[in-house]
Structure 1
Amino acid sequence: MEKTEQWSSKLGFILASAGSAIGIGAIWKLPYVTGTSGGGAFILILVIFSLLIGLPLLLAEFVIGRSTQKDAITAYKTIAPGTKWHWIGYLGIITCFILLSFYSVIGGWILQYILYSVTGQVGQGNVNYEVLFNEAVSNPVIAVGMQAAFLMITIFVVGKGVQSGIEKASKFMMPALFILFVVLMVRSLTLDNAMAGVEFFLTPDFTKLNSQSILFALGQSFFLLSVGVSVMVTYSSYLSKEASIVQPALSIVAMNLLISLFAGLAIFPAVFSLGFEPTAGPGLLFIILPSVFEKMIFGNLFLLIFLVLFLFATLTSAFSLLEIVVASISKGRGGRNRLSWIIGTLVFIVGIPSALSFGVLSDIAIFNKSIFDAADFLVSNILMPIGVFLISIFVSYKMKKDVLKNELIQNSKYQGLFQVWYFLLRYVVPLVIIIVFLDIIEVI
């Protein structure tokens, strides 16, 4: 049976796709790297790379999905029957499965901190947040239990379907995420000495740009848009043939850059105002920010707002990771809810070692990395770059140019865009990905 599910509106598609792309990196890593890598200078580089690298890749996945109206595996089979190109779809499914297995661990940490906030265990003073965080992630009952709770929310939404589940949740979560960020920004920017944080984050300093920060911006230009794992192939397959894919792609790029900007303006003015050292990663969210909010009037409320905001960003990404697996197995034949629970349970089981890698399994190392870090490295530094490279080659060399033009251009104002997009995808993007990959494996 052919898949009949579709987005009910273009807005639903944009919000769900943007939600898929907006995740952990945009909030706990990118703002800090921006501040230490030239501020506004780094943002300028990131915007250029997002338009020249990320956007062409996003459009490439949209073209595959919208043209075939198929899941991530069948789409490649439809375009290139009798070949092995559909293994790109399998690669995407494997990548998303592994990614969700450890991504859900972080989702569990956020849920635990929301519980701490609601019960008054944080924000009351005299709390050693480093100790609290270490206790939470090393306690096997908390780590595995909260990972399961996070996955149950994800499974419930995906099991409801595209319109009733993912789209409906995204239409609530994404506007709420923007509103909560604005509330936090206003509060942060009105604190004493807030401008020191703004200067750290935004002051352009091209002398701080080095090869490492430029390569990071290159990598982020496609990591931030959730490309390379065929998630956007799946999401765009639910888009009607009449809908434009250029305007949604531009909107998604803009929303991702805006959220990264919001994150920096919400976090660093508060961090500097209250005398803390800026940091990145889990330490920022679970150790530094609770300490910062604790010193504010109504700080516990603002911490809760931030945690809910972060939960929404994490969940909307998780929806897309589970959806690609469910869609590829169900192929529109029904039984979505049952499949969602089966696959979600398997993800949970595979993710248990990652959840326990900060506690009872902390002595186990894979290539000198914890189980969690090894899974992260495999996905972020090996599988995703390979996926991005293969998709760019597939679209620009395997798909017919006239088919690509018909899919991309639906009115005359995008005529010039096609040639630029085709050139970037065929020649520039593969070269850039090779450079980024060589940097990741420390060849350059």
Structure 2
Amino acid sequence: MQTTEQWSSKIGFILSAAGSAIGVGAIWKLPYVTGISGGGAFFLLFILFSLFMGFPLLLAEFIIGRSTQKEAISAYRSLAPNTKWHWIGKLGVFTCFLLLSFYSVIGGWIVIYFVKGLFGGIISEGADYGAVFNVTIGNPILVIGAQFVFLAITVLVVAKGIQNGIEKVSKILMPTLFVLFIVLIIRSLTLDNAMEGVKFFLAPDFSRITSQNILYAMGQAFFALSVGVSVMVTYSSYLSKKESLIQPAISIVAMNLLIALLAGLAIFPAVFSLGLEPAEGPGLLFVVLPAVFDQIIFGEVFLLGFLALFLFATLTSAFSMLEIIVASTVKGKEEKRKKYAYIIGVLIFVVGIPSALSYSIFADILIFSKNLFDSADYLVSNILMPLGVLLISIFVPLKIKKSTLREELLQHSRLGATAFNIWFFIMRFIIPLVIIIVFLDITGILDRIVALF
């Protein structure tokens, strides 16, 4: 069944899709993954993967969604009827479900810090912000309660639909986030020894690159752009046939890379100036932000504003994850949206509880030396998302007519046949080959193959 709602404008679609892509991926995750993966070389790999794999894949998901005007599972079923290819959509729905289960935990952390900020309870002279963070996430009742609040907000917005919910909120919040980031960067760059942080973030040291880091960079590019889970299939299904696909894709990738750059420039100069550890891990942002704002006049006010915007940026990503699940459930029957949004929200909350308790009650439960939170993150970012990308890169050239792909991609665009042929070549050969090689390298199979020759 065809979707019944559409974005009211192209800018609404771009900001909503960018909000889905940016959120926690660029602001929270990129700095800490860059920190544990060696800095500049990792960030360069992230940029390359975003441009040469993420961007083509974003266009591919746009084509699937806009050409069918259907949510993820139905879109694949429409393009390849009587086959099993619709399982790509089901994989995306499952991945988003699992992703939102631990993503909501991070959202809960932000809720806690925001509420503390309202009462001036974050910044204090001489505070050990790392210890404060550990105590905060080690409180099981607090983190579960905050996770519930975060998911409740997400459910309420998605239950309202596209134009009145997701689009309206994104139009206000995304531009404001950029402005406050600039304030944070200016102060961070003026701290003592700030240039060491800039050097760590932007000067590549390729000796620090490992096959594991390459997998992380690839996974981070997919995570940051929300590709591989068919979120963008669902979002683009609400886009009018009169709009170009190229311009929104360029805007989304550019905004994502810009926010990633701003996040790094805000975080790493402060990390080195304040003598913190860049490999801090998931808590890096929550340790660095209070320390930086502590150095600013009216720091509590600025910190509260940033936390509010960070919370809303995180929510825009959560909206997209819940939207793909809800849309695949209601299948265009909007009267069922509210009911299923509530039901799915409760299920996600329950599944996310183990991740929320990974730093307290379940701290001793490890899977391959990772706690439950990190295990869920690794499974989504480095296995399920690349797998989804691999399947989409095989599906698009194989099951969609080349003429349809050309028409959808070049419609309302000044690009010609050469640009299309380059995109098609990357989708058909480069992306599957790169993903397969990285997986073979990670598993050690590639070394055995090379040894044979």
Q: Quote the Cα distance in structure 2 between the aligned partners of 1:274 and 1:141.
A: 31
Which piece of structure 1 moves more, 84-93 or 349-358?
A: 349-358
Q: Quote the Cα distance in structure 2 between the aligned partners of 1:322 and 1:41.
A: 33
Q: Quote the Cα distance in structure 2 between the aligned partners of 1:381 and 1:409.
A: 32
* Contact kept? 1:181, 1:309, Cα under 8 Å: no
Distance 1:267 1:22, change over 3 A: same
Corresponding letter in the other structure for 1:431? L
Distance 1:243 1:306, change over 3 A: same
Q: How does 1:120-159 map to 2 (within 5 A)?
A: 120-159=120-159
Q: How does 1:415-434 map to 2 (within 5 A)?
A: 415-434=417-436
**What is residue 451 of structure 2 aligned with on the other side?**
none
**What is residue 232 of structure 2 aligned with on the other side?**
232
Q: How does 1:37-52 map to 2 (within 5 A)?
A: 43-52=43-52
Q: For 1:73, what is the secondary structure of its paired residue? A: helix
Distance 1:376 1:244, change over 3 A: same
Which blocks of at least 5 consecutive residues in structure 2 are unaligned? 447-453
Q: Provide the TM-score with structure 2 as the length reference.
A: 0.91
Q: For 1:6, what is the secondary structure of its paired residue? A: coil
Q: Quote the Cα distance in structure 1 between the aligned partners of 2:442 and 2:210.
A: 16
Which piece of structure 1 moves more, 145-154 or 292-301?
A: 292-301
Distance 1:412 1:301, change over 3 A: closer
What fraction of aligned residue pairs are identical, expressed as a percent?
Answer: 65
**What is residue 403 of structure 2 aligned with on the other side?**
402
* Contact kept? 2:267, 2:285, Cα under 8 Å: no
**What is residue 357 of structure 2 aligned with on the other side?**
356
Distance 1:201 1:419, change over 3 A: same
Q: How many residues align?
A: 444
Q: Quote the Cα distance in structure 1 between the aligned partners of 2:363 and 2:34.
A: 31
Corresponding letter in the other structure for 1:401? K
* Contact kept? 1:29, 1:280, Cα under 8 Å: no
Q: Quote the Cα distance in structure 2 between the aligned partners of 1:352 and 1:378.
A: 17
Distance 1:315 1:40, change over 3 A: same
Which piece of structure 1 moves more, 369-378 or 48-57?
A: 369-378
**What is residue 373 of structure 1 aligned with on the other side?**
374
Distance 1:156 1:182, change over 3 A: same
Which piece of structure 1 moves more, 149-158 or 183-192?
A: 183-192
Corresponding letter in the other structure for 1:394? F
Following superposition, the deviation at residue 416 of structure 1 comes to 1.7
Q: For 2:83, what is the secondary structure of its paired residue? A: coil
**What is residue 217 of structure 1 aligned with on the other side?**
217
Following superposition, the deviation at residue 107 of structure 1 comes to 0.5
* Contact kept? 1:59, 1:249, Cα under 8 Å: yes
* Contact kept? 2:214, 2:438, Cα under 8 Å: no
**What is residue 392 of structure 1 aligned with on the other side?**
393
Q: Does 1:9 align with 2:9?
A: yes
Distance 1:195 1:68, change over 3 A: same
* Contact kept? 1:218, 1:432, Cα under 8 Å: no
Q: Quote the Cα distance in structure 1 between the aligned partners of 2:37 and 2:107.
A: 28
Q: For 1:379, what is the secondary structure of its paired residue? A: helix
Following superposition, the deviation at residue 269 of structure 1 comes to 2.5
Distance 1:211 1:351, change over 3 A: closer
* Contact kept? 2:66, 2:236, Cα under 8 Å: yes
* Contact kept? 2:220, 2:381, Cα under 8 Å: no
Q: Quote the Cα distance in structure 2 between the aligned partners of 1:362 and 1:215.
A: 26
Corresponding letter in the other structure for 1:231? V
Which piece of structure 1 moves more, 63-72 or 343-352?
A: 343-352
Q: How does 1:31-430 map to 2 (within 5 A)?
A: 31=31, 43-205=43-205, 213-334=213-334, 335-410=336-411, 411-430=413-432
* Contact kept? 2:73, 2:87, Cα under 8 Å: yes
Which piece of structure 1 moves more, 329-338 or 275-284?
A: 275-284
* Contact kept? 1:50, 1:221, Cα under 8 Å: yes
Following superposition, the deviation at residue 396 of structure 1 comes to 1.1
Q: Quote the Cα distance in structure 2 between the aligned partners of 1:36 and 1:143.
A: 25
Following superposition, the deviation at residue 264 of structure 1 comes to 1.3
Distance 1:362 1:203, change over 3 A: closer
* Contact kept? 1:381, 1:437, Cα under 8 Å: no
Q: What do the CA deviations read for 1:318-371 (whole angstroms, capped 9, x no partner)?
A: 010000000011111122122211111111111112212222222333444322
**What is residue 26 of structure 2 aligned with on the other side?**
26
Distance 1:19 1:256, change over 3 A: same
Q: Quote the Cα distance in structure 2 between the aligned partners of 1:5 and 1:330.
A: 13
Q: For 1:413, what is the secondary structure of its paired residue? A: coil
* Contact kept? 2:71, 2:233, Cα under 8 Å: yes
Following superposition, the deviation at residue 35 of structure 1 comes to 7.0
* Contact kept? 1:66, 1:239, Cα under 8 Å: yes
Q: Provide the TM-score with structure 1 as the length reference.
A: 0.93
* Contact kept? 1:4, 1:332, Cα under 8 Å: yes
Q: What do the CA deviations read for 1:281-321 (whole angstroms, capped 9, x no partner)?
A: 32312223323432443332333233223222211110100
* Contact kept? 1:158, 1:166, Cα under 8 Å: yes
Corresponding letter in the other structure for 1:362? A
Distance 1:155 1:299, change over 3 A: same
Distance 1:220 1:365, change over 3 A: closer
* Contact kept? 2:32, 2:282, Cα under 8 Å: no
Q: For 1:282, what is the secondary structure of its paired residue? A: coil
Distance 1:364 1:222, change over 3 A: closer
Corresponding letter in the other structure for 1:364? I
Q: For 2:225, what is the secondary structure of its paired residue? A: coil
Q: Quote the Cα distance in structure 1 between the aligned partners of 2:131 and 2:206.
A: 38
Following superposition, the deviation at residue 209 of structure 1 comes to 5.2
Q: For 2:408, what is the secondary structure of its paired residue? A: helix
Corresponding letter in the other structure for 1:58? L
Q: Quote the Cα distance in structure 2 between the aligned partners of 1:129 and 1:221.
A: 29
Which piece of structure 1 moves more, 182-191 or 366-375?
A: 366-375
